[in-house]
Structure 1
């Protein structure tokens, strides 16, 4: 997976504004996502070992919902009971990590990339909006758009880090449309035409940000500061990357912590 959906510092800043039970539930969800992500990215382990490790999590999630010993999923037991979290969403996250384990993701077609984003990002969003107390239909729509926006932004930010472990998440159609020959990871990410392949991905991320912001602007029921904060912070990252471009050598774009903190203050004042 191309970095966690939300950088640890920004994730915790956004979650600190929640009431205690909701905050602890989000910490448990994040810890689960981080744990299975670490399995997927543990390149020291072979495919069989990492697959077995993910299967242990599948079994523990199944046991949790069946009323048995939840094993590694014990910290999720309270949030599942309190907020009615969906087993399907937890399993979707594991399925997304399994896509990375089965074969290092390289130039997936657009449909496969969208499925991956749904599993590793939007599924986490669906779990989160239940904790935030959002009405389910609205929350699912928000998760669809915001999850994809965040994940596509991460993909564009982490091109070099992902290439270093043999992965290129940019879609095949975008690379071929830019005239980039697929086959060698280093050659692909070093191609001077890469900016042309990144532009349609950035446009897709921007479209999802716009839709997410439209949902949030309607002020649906629930704790909205966390998704508002993440949407604003990552939309700004995307804007800065679009301005800088993606031609190598690329400087990694990072969150402006002062701006992030000020944005949080403003959002709290509007509540």
Structure 2
């Protein structure tokens, strides 16, 4: 059960609540699922411009809203906020409408049972995101609309590399302005069932201790065979002497040592080459 995606757990809980005729749980779960649906909708103004056919989702008509897939972390964060909103509303009306306040607290309790325990740094990440929303310039970032659910929920957070030392060293290069690109094995994304990065996607980079240090926005994504990664990309990664030879040597070792898949290393293995810009740092 713990391996079931959080959204599916919500749907399962809703079916059970309806079967048991639990009006409180049914109302809370329907509302939470509706909040997730709203968060997944990409506003029309952020759709690709005319001519950008390769970036447009397939099967989306003029009257349909494009969708994005929320990660489990994003779903959990929205659930936490659904719980908090009910608890805050209950506190505000408890004196004047105690019955309704009790209903809100009951709904909050239903949702709270489905919220995963947060990481020790979750509050620090939320505080970092609030600061970024206030100070960063999001001009040209697709999908970001001030005041929307997506603007409230922190984007995914992660660290570079496969060891604490690599995490801090690569982060330092980013903060120094030397690193504006990264690369990952496509086979890792497939093995872990993770979506590929998209232009406009946001991410919070953590240091080796899990502290949020930089907010990045993806500006370009290319998938190419390992042996066709360009000298320009190697230079933008900012590691070592910046040469393609150094990039190939280090990444052949890295892709072999820290692979999430079991396909080994191959000179023609597909590599996700991602470029990014730094929007905010701590």
TM range (shorter): under 0.3
Q: Which has the higher strand share?
A: 2
Query: For the pair shown, which has the larger CA radius of gyration, 1 or 2?
Result: 2
TM-score of the pair, normalised by structure 2: 0.26
Q: Which has the higher helix share?
A: 1
TM-score of the pair, normalised by structure 1: 0.27
Q: More relative contact order in 1 or in 2 (CA 8 Å, sep 6+)?
A: 1
